Amino acid sequence: MEAFKRLLKMAQAYYLRFIFAAILMIIAGALQSALPLISKPAIDEIFVSKDMTALTWIPFAIIGIFLFKGLCTYGQVILMSSIGLRILTDLRNKLYGHIQKQSLAFFTDHPTGLLMSRITNDVLSVQAASSEAITSLVKDSCTLIFLVGVIFYTDWQLALIAMLVFPLTIYPISRFGKKIRKVTTSSQITMGTLNSLLQETISGIRIVKAFCMEKYENARFAAESERLFKLSMKTVSINAMASPLMEFLGGLGIAAIIFYGGYNVIKGNSTPGTFFSFLAALLMLYEPMKRLTNVNNSINQGIAGAERVFSIIDHMPDIVNKPGAVELPPIRRGIDIKNVTFCYDTTPVLKNINIHIKAGEVVAFVGMSGGGKTSLVNLIPRFYDVTSGCILIDGYDIRDVTLQSLRRQIAIVTQQTILFNDSVKNNIAYGDIKRTDEEIIAAAKAANAHSFIMRLPQRYDSNIGELGTKLSGGEKQRISIARALLKDAPILILDEATSSLDTEAEIEVQEALDNLMKGRTTLVIAHRLSTIRNADRIITLVNGEIVEEGTHEALLAKKGEYYRLYNLQFKDEGSGNGRLAKDLE
């Protein structure tokens, strides 16, 4: 019940609304219970005694009861719905904000579809517990209390007989609640898996179609859908079982009441009005009792969802500002990577790396896939933290400065260009949406993007689609470069920024990159070795270790690992030997 307590704590901010809603619910419950009391004089004075005075006031009293009960019900529904939806919004915003704070390692462990399921399905299930269930709990409990008072006031002996049935309902209600929570948790896990499948297959639909795997993916999705269907049917079955059981137990009580009450009326110990007033109150007890049974199930479903939401919220980010973190001033001297070792879990990816990069220097990292190039550059903006050693910028350990001040100094252009389903202008200005149109256009021109942007239907206001699907690979990359140019950060990371482009697009993008690199401390991960010939220094990594470093010409002359990689890359191009010979001259 810890999750439920936390939801109640979130609701405390709206306690005034709840107090007003509770007052309205109490009044509505009291008015509901007044109806059986009206039935006694209606039967005894109108139908038995034929009293015209009673015939005059009783219909108006009934109209008044229903009118005020309707107004109170409307008011409490509005108030409680606003509380529930506000808690829902607060919880969803809190969850999304907390997810945004997590490191890249968190997203490796938590698939996108699962996180989407937490924000949508799990949070939505909490609404039933936070508004509808609490409304029913308060309102139906009040109605129940008033109606019990009515039946005891009307005939306490009959009331005692009726009350014998109530304890029999406690055990099944409790048992159904536990089953509901267990099945709901399994359903939500399955829904998360289903969302993951959706996200993967829709984003990778080209690969699915290219490999003719539609049937395979359909089968995977159908299997999870079938699992979700079976779990949903279990929930339906448990809920469906609760009502008939309550009806049967209620039927036992009503049968006993009719027998004993009818006997008293026949013997003259009670009036028909008293008996029917009692019976009306007893029958009215059934509906709030039935709803309270369902409330228990709804609360358990909400708790199951809340527990999964809070499990994410309680996951503390592993990369945060340390107490007393300072602002990092603009880089002037350089970056020092000292004795750095980095592991994913327990597997070492980088081993005892030592590099000094001067401010304004262009340093390229090369090596076979899995050598640790991307892992190394990911440590600089603290996407991950070093396992041992340290990284210094102008003598400041990057763990001692604020993440905002560190990352403001770094711009990144990656092989996989990430653009958003928004306008060209907003994508370029993503790092600072307050930039002027003139600054955005200047950045686009420097990135060789202005000409193709002006050919778009709405130019800079054109929407580029999800992940920039309306643009070519080269166009997307140039938008990404314009974004980095506009940020104007002194440190630049280029992670295989041209490796996925054709030759023509690469020429245009490379020219834009040259503009971007001017005057910046640049770290380049290169797949195409021809693109780093002019780097100030090239560092070769093998299995997480530095095996050699130097200029392009020096490393070729050395005929070591870089020479091998360079030769390997060009040997199948026909002109590879001639090109290599030219490089060695």
- When mean pLDDT is compared across 227-241, 388-402, 554-568, the lowest value belongs to 227-241
Give the pLDDT confidence score for residue 48 in this predicted structure. Answer: 64
Per-residue confidence at 62, pLDDT binned at 50, 70, 90?
confident
CB 174, CB 295: distance < 8 Å: no
Q: Taking every pair of C-alpha atoms in the chain, what is the biggest distance, in angstroms?
A: 124
Please tell me whether residue 339 adopts helix, strand or coil conformation: strand
Per-residue confidence at 8, pLDDT binned at 50, 70, 90?
confident
pTM (global) more than 0.85: no
Residue 184 CB partners (closer than 8 Å, separation 6+): 125, 235, 300, 301, 304, 305
How many Å apart are CA 392 and CA 331, to the nearest integer?
11
CB 519, CB 345: distance < 8 Å: no
The residue among 196, 9, 36 whose CA lies nearest residue 116 is 196
CB 115, CB 311: distance < 8 Å: no
Residue 174 in this model has a pLDDT that exceeds 80: no
How many Å apart are CA 387 and CA 341, to the nearest integer?
6
Residue 24 in this model has a pLDDT that exceeds 80: yes
Provide φ and ψ at 341, rounded to 5°. Answer: -125, 140
Please tell me whether residue 495 adopts helix, strand or coil conformation: strand
- When mean pLDDT is compared across 241-250, 456-465, 480-489, 507-516, the lowest value belongs to 241-250
The residue among 292, 276, 361 whose CA lies nearest residue 140 is 292
Cβ atoms within 10 Å of 13's Cβ, excluding its own: 12
| In-domain check, residue 409 | no
Q: What is the pLDDT of residues 100-123, one digit of tens each?
A: 888 878 887 887 777 887 887 778
Tell me the average pLDDT across 282-297. Answer: 70
Q: What is the 3-state secondary structure (H, E, C) of 79-126?
A: HHHHHHHHHHHHHHHHHHHHHHHCCHHHHHHCCHHHHHHHHHHHHHHH
How many Å apart are CA 373 and CA 526, to the nearest integer?
9
| In-domain check, residue 206 | no
DSSP bridge pairs for 413:
494
Q: What is the pLDDT of residues 564-575, one digit of tens each?
A: 888 877 664 444
Residue 406 in this model has a pLDDT that exceeds 80: yes
CB 538, CB 563: distance < 8 Å: no
| In-domain check, residue 245 | yes
More confident residue, 481 or 301: 481
Please tell me whether residue 521 adopts helix, strand or coil conformation: strand
H or E element in which residue 542 lies: strand 537-542
Our count of domains for the chain comes to 1
Tell me the average pLDDT across 332-356. Answer: 88
How many Å apart are CA 407 and CA 425, to the nearest integer?
22
Please tell me whether residue 549 adopts helix, strand or coil conformation: strand
Give the pLDDT confidence score for residue 506 in this predicted structure. Answer: 64
The residue among 194, 190, 182, 164 whose CA lies nearest residue 307 is 182
Q: Residue 584, exposed/middle/buried by CB under 10 A (0-12, 13-18, 19+)?
A: exposed
Residue 189 CB partners (closer than 8 Å, separation 6+): none
CB 187, CB 235: distance < 8 Å: yes
Give the pLDDT confidence score for residue 21 in this predicted structure. Answer: 87
Provide φ and ψ at 547, rounded to 5°. Answer: -105, -25
The residue among 417, 471, 461 whose CA lies nearest residue 441 is 461
Residue 376 in this model has a pLDDT that exceeds 50: yes
Task: Say what percent of the chain tops pLDDT 90.
Answer: 4
Enter the tokens of residue 27. Answer: 């009044």
Residue range(s) defining the domain that contains residue 268: 2-191+232-313
Task: Say what percent of the chain tops pLDDT 70.
Answer: 78
Cβ atoms within 10 Å of 472's Cβ, excluding its own: 13
Residue 502 in this model has a pLDDT that exceeds 60: no
| In-domain check, residue 159 | yes
Per-residue confidence at 392, pLDDT binned at 50, 70, 90?
very high
| In-domain check, residue 106 | yes
Per-residue confidence at 356, pLDDT binned at 50, 70, 90?
very high
For the chain, what is the mean pLDDT? 78
**CATH number of domain containing 304:** 1.20.1560.10
Tell me the average pLDDT across 354-373. Answer: 87
| In-domain check, residue 50 | yes
Decide the pairing of beta strands 362-366 and 521-525.
parallel
How many Å apart are CA 218 and CA 355, to the nearest integer?
50
Q: What is the pLDDT of residues 224-241, one digit of tens each?
A: 788 878 887 877 777 676
| In-domain check, residue 515 | no
Provide φ and ψ at 211, rounded to 5°. Answer: -100, 10
| In-domain check, residue 365 | no
Enter the tokens of residue 201. Answer: 């297959």
How many Å apart are CA 42 and CA 113, to the nearest integer?
61
- When mean pLDDT is compared across 231-235, 321-325, 451-455, 536-540, the lowest value belongs to 231-235
Residue 585 in this model has a pLDDT that exceeds 50: no
